[in-house]
Structure 1
Amino acid sequence: MLDPSGGAQHVWSYLCSGDDREGRVVRLNMKEAQDRQKSYADRRRRELEFQVGDRVYLKMAMLRGPNRSIAENKLSPRFMGPFPVVERVGPLAYRLELPEIMKAFHKVFHVSMLRKCLHPTEELVARIPEDLQPDLTVPAVPVRILERREKVLRNKRIPLLRILWDCSGSTEETWEPEAKMKLKFRKWFDKQVEE
């Protein structure tokens, strides 16, 4: 019936050839499984459509960058805006009117990056920092060391520092490895140790 030298490709082509009963059963079962998975995915999917002039929120996930970004705060907002829709570019893309400080952004966004603003007078959810860099990051400057501790692993100890950061006016505290702080902020670290 099956030639063993043909391998898996031969078996698959035999099962899917359509001239045998087993192949039809396999195709039918695969179609049922695909339809079931599609129905699960479609339950949560919504058809979003915006009109010119609608106000929408923009997902903050796009503000992530290689350095500290404004979206790196642990409890940062998920969306920023609202921004008015200027034009519908395609079936799933919209052009937004962004403030001058966000000129580094491309102004066309996929519908999955947008949420409709339900109340017309809602204000900005997330403040756009004045020192937003072209790579969409905000410089974070260490202010001082608040606390020291060691993380003990099986065969080594990692010294950690609790650092108070100044992120364009807002403050944030994070635990950072001491070695990383020595590398990135050498002069600042030496000054902190002297004090």
Structure 2
Amino acid sequence: MTRFGKKGKLCPRYIDPYEVLQLVGNVDYDLKLPNNMASVHLVLHVLMLKNYRGDPASFFPVEGLGVYENLSYEEVLVEILYRQVKRLRNKEVTTVMVLWRNHVVEGATWESTADMRSCYPHLFIS
């Protein structure tokens, strides 16, 4: 049997959402799994599956995003919300909280100041 990650109590119970190809028998389903899961049997019992319920807040309207043909889009920095300096054993690491276009404030991410300075030098003139 293949284990996913750690074993015991910290073992992940559910891996990822996968497409159900067909119903096999009364309670078994044939799944479309990626190549890296080749050792996992493709037909699973219904008790090993869980319904996937997407979060409606995570869906964005595609119109106006500038989505490319490969369904990707360019993230555009809107504002730097916070700056912080973390002290490690023998060095300091500076990071900034960045608000991206088409994201809410809760979707802001912490990014390395060095990375942001290389991409957006006009924000770090001082």
**TM-score using structure 1 length:** 0.33
Larger RCO, structures 1/2 (Cα 8 Å, 6+ apart): 1
Which has the larger helix fraction?
Answer: 1
